[in-house]
Structure formats: structure tokens, C-alpha cells
Structure 1
Amino acid sequence: MGNKITTLLFDLDGTLINTNDLIIASFTATLNHYYPDKYSREDILPFIGPSLHDTFYSIDPERVDEMIVRYREHNIQNHDAMVTQYEGVYETIKTLHELGYKIGIVTTKKRDVVLKGLKLSGLDEFFEVIVSLDDVERAKPDPEPVYKALDLLGSSPAEAIMVGDNHHDILAGKNAGTLTAGVAWTVKGRDYLEEFEPDYILDHMGDLITIVGAAVK
């Protein structure tokens, strides 16, 4: 019925922890500084997922670095007050860890903020590998971060699944040859993710327990 799944790779923001309000607020504060009242929430939603460099470069190539600094200052200052957990994530990750699955994080965030989010949510003890923006030359949807995580975990693409809330996650998994799963709680809406044809759509993170079990048969 298919390869046995031994390895699960997760995006962080919008997948494991709910940082959407924080990200939108950080973009809003940054963009309002340069372009007062020009960007609405709907304008900002497409910026969730790509690296900050790619997003700000598309807005103003001359101010990329200073915009990133301003964004990160706001993001870190407000992080702990605005980040929340999704129902069932902690329990599912804990169960997968206890069952012996290899689990890692593949994110376009910088490592310091990744560690902050994992600690806040109590997930920091479960992940053997974190591949952050600091660790790669090319971010998702390029397969490099997925390949790097698999290499560190000693896994092949055929035994892995990439889980995320954004098309960058789904395409990175497809480009690397893994199975893919989109999360229905993506801020961009389930229909948005379905366009990229992930192998699975998760209505609840606990669905993964069934999926990896089914893949064994």
C-alpha cells in the first residue's frame, strides 16, 4: 500500500503554532511606517510563508534590510503575548515522538525565533532537527531545506511527509519527493491549499496518527 512513513517534517508558523496574528501585526506595523494605511489585512496574507527578504524585496529592494530589522523588532517584542497553540498539536507531536517517529522542523524563520516559539508552546523537547532560514542557501519551495532535514535525520524522501499551511511547504515536499499534507486551519483557507494538491488535508493534527498508521499497511 505504499512506503512506511518513518519521518515527519513540519513547518512552524501557522502549522504547529498560531503566529498568524503576530505576523500580520508585525507586517502591518512595518508597512505602515513606510506606507501609512496602504496595506490591508488581505494585502498582507500573501506575505505569510515566503522569507522576509523575498517579501520586502518585492515591495522595495532598496529598503529590504531596514524593513526586516523593523519587522523582527516588533515580532520579538510581541511574540509571547500573541502566539497561541492549535488544538491537538502538542498531544499529537508528543504521541509521534513517543511512537519513535523521526520529526523535524523546516521553516523560513530564523533560528532564534523558532526556538522562542517552540519553547513557549512546550514543543521544544520533541524535535531532533530544525532547519531554519539560517541553515540553507535557498528557502522553500526549493527542496534544499527538506533534503537537509532528511539528511540530518537519516531518512529518504520516500519515507517522509512534509506538513504545512502554505503552498511553499507543499511544493517543497513535492520537489523533494516526499508525501505532503496541508493543514485545513491555514489562515489562507482550505481551498487555497487544495489547489496545490497535497496528498492529505488535515482537519486536525491528530489525523496524522491515522495517516502514518495507514501508510504502514
Structure 2
Amino acid sequence: MSLEKRPRALLLDLDGTIADTLPHIFNAYRHAVAPWVTKPPTDAEVEATFGPAERDCIGVMVPAANLDEAEERFHSYYEEELGRNVQLVQGIAEVIDHARALGWRVGVFTGKGRRSARFTLVELGLWDRVEHLVSSDDVTRPKPDSEGVFQASEKLAVPVARILMAGDSLADIQAGGGAGAQTAAVLWAAFRPERLRDAGADFVCERVADLYNAIDHLNAGE
């Protein structure tokens, strides 16, 4: 019988987990819908639309006839201003490298559409470190549904029970837990971290170092 260790995987959310992108997203959303609203939406109003890809979120506040233009306004602002407004969360690249050094597979499961998700990972220097990306464009049912977790499990060839899903929203914890994965609630850039403390995650990570330790804890339990 082979003594080779069974594979594990780290499945990361993007916004608020890998990078503190949320303020930038809120501004890009406000820019996208500006011609069609009388008052800019608040951060909370934007956040309430999250789940599907950007086009559907924008469509909540823009007439259908103007949706193509509004979506392009979003992406133009998002891509042009990302470099000035978004930085990688300090230490997260090292966490990814640590997981990979232990033999873990690494994926990203995000509510972003594929265009903005890929652009963000490339710009932040992580694209080559991620083995599989699941965006909202790649699923029929976005978070909190578990479809994306099952897809990542298949593509990474890792059973869902051996995946650690890490994210900054209730939807991340619900998607991971609903699939039977281990879950880590990350608070370092969450929009409303108080919602996550009692969400039932297997690990609550105040700092990036806590996620590093969660990976070590699971790895030691082989």
C-alpha cells in the first residue's frame, strides 16, 4: 500500500481575503452606475448585491438597456485604478507558498467575474501560484451555494473533505461547509467581521499568521 500523503487543497476567496479590494470595488461600482442613479449607493448597498458576477450586481441599479455600458464603465475604472488602490494582503503570498511547499493544491473561488478575477490575480503577482480559478462566470449557482467548491475539488483532484476554504464572508463559510470542506473565517479585511465570528467556521483567523497555523494544524493531522 502506498504511504504517499493524501492531497489537500487551500481554496481562497479573493476580495477581502487575498487583497483588500473592497474599497476599490465600491468605488468602481459607484462609477459604473453614476449616470443612472440620483444618489451614489453606499458601501452597504453595494455589498448587499454581492454573490453573482459584476454584471448582475450592476444590473440591480441600471436599466437593462444601459447594462453593457455600465459594465464596461466598471471594468475600465477597476482595471485603470487597481494598481493605485489595491495591494496584496501582507503575508498571504507566503501562506500560499507554504501550502504549496507542503504539497497542497491551491485554488481561488471568488464571486468576481472571470475578467476581473484574472486581472486582479495577474496584477497582484499570484496568477502563476493558483492552479485553478472558479469565478462567478464558471458556476450556475454562486456562493453561498457549494457548486464552486465541488468544481474546485474535481479540478484539483482533492476530496472536498480535504479542502480548506478560506474567506471573509458568510457566503464563503456556507459554501465551504455546505460541501463538507473545512472552513476558515478570515477577518483581516472583512467588510463586517463581526458577522463571521459566530458563523461556525472551523478556524477563525484574525491575522494572516492564523491561516498559516490552520494549514499546519490540518497538515499535522494526516
What's the TM-score once normalised by structure 2's chain length?
Answer: 0.85
Determine helix, strand or coil for the equivalent of 1:17: coil
Asked if residue 15 in structure 1 is aligned to residue 17 in structure 2, the reply is yes
1:210 maps to what in 2? 213
In the alignment, the residues of structure 1 paired with residue 125 and residue 76 of structure 2 have an alpha-carbon distance, to the nearest angstrom, of 23
Equivalent residue for 1:82, pick from 82, 85, 88: 85
Does structure 2 retain, via aligned residues, the 8 Å contact 1:50–1:168?
Answer: no
Partner deviation per Cα, 1:15-51 (whole Å, 9 max, x = no partner) = 1012112101111112322113242334333345543
User: After the TM superposition, which residues 123-138 of structure 1 pair with which residues of structure 2 at under 5 Å, given as runs?
Assistant: 123-138=126-141
Determine helix, strand or coil for the equivalent of 1:125: helix
Asked if residue 151 in structure 1 is aligned to residue 151 in structure 2, the reply is no
Asked if residue 27 in structure 1 is aligned to residue 6 in structure 2, the reply is no
Does structure 2 retain, via aligned residues, the 8 Å contact 1:182–1:200?
Answer: yes
Asked if residue 189 in structure 1 is aligned to residue 185 in structure 2, the reply is no
Cα 1:158–1:139 shift into 2, 3 Å? same
Q: Matched residues, percent identical?
A: 29
2:3 maps to what in 1? none
Equivalent residue for 2:38, pick from 15, 28, 36: 36
In the alignment, the residues of structure 1 paired with residue 139 and residue 40 of structure 2 have an alpha-carbon distance, to the nearest angstrom, of 33
In the alignment, the residues of structure 2 paired with residue 58 and residue 95 of structure 1 have an alpha-carbon distance, to the nearest angstrom, of 40
Instruction: Tell me the matched-pair count.
Output: 214
In the alignment, the residues of structure 2 paired with residue 110 and residue 55 of structure 1 have an alpha-carbon distance, to the nearest angstrom, of 11
In the alignment, the residues of structure 1 paired with residue 156 and residue 130 of structure 2 have an alpha-carbon distance, to the nearest angstrom, of 10
Cα 1:107–1:155 shift into 2, 3 Å? same
Cα 1:64–1:192 shift into 2, 3 Å? farther
Amino acid aligned to 2:41: Y
Asked if residue 94 in structure 1 is aligned to residue 97 in structure 2, the reply is yes
Determine helix, strand or coil for the equivalent of 2:130: coil
Asked if residue 104 in structure 1 is aligned to residue 107 in structure 2, the reply is yes
Relative contact order, higher structure (CA 8 A, sep 6+): 1
1:147 offset after TM fit, Å?
Answer: 0.6
Determine helix, strand or coil for the equivalent of 2:188: coil
What's the TM-score once normalised by structure 1's chain length?
Answer: 0.87
Structure 1: unaligned runs, 5 residues or longer: none
Partner deviation per Cα, 1:138-188 (whole Å, 9 max, x = no partner) = 221111111111101111111111111122211111221111111112342
In the alignment, the residues of structure 2 paired with residue 50 and residue 70 of structure 1 have an alpha-carbon distance, to the nearest angstrom, of 18
Determine helix, strand or coil for the equivalent of 1:182: strand
1:101 offset after TM fit, Å?
Answer: 0.9
1:201 offset after TM fit, Å?
Answer: 1.3
Determine helix, strand or coil for the equivalent of 1:44: helix
Does structure 2 retain, via aligned residues, the 8 Å contact 1:106–1:130?
Answer: yes
Determine helix, strand or coil for the equivalent of 2:185: strand
Cα 1:136–1:152 shift into 2, 3 Å? same
Structure 2: unaligned runs, 5 residues or longer: 1-5
Does structure 2 retain, via aligned residues, the 8 Å contact 1:129–1:149?
Answer: yes
In the alignment, the residues of structure 2 paired with residue 64 and residue 176 of structure 1 have an alpha-carbon distance, to the nearest angstrom, of 33
Amino acid aligned to 1:122: G
Does structure 1 retain, via aligned residues, the 8 Å contact 2:15–2:22?
Answer: yes
Amino acid aligned to 1:81: R
In the alignment, the residues of structure 1 paired with residue 160 and residue 21 of structure 2 have an alpha-carbon distance, to the nearest angstrom, of 28
Equivalent residue for 2:202, pick from 185, 199, 207: 199
Does structure 2 retain, via aligned residues, the 8 Å contact 1:166–1:186?
Answer: no
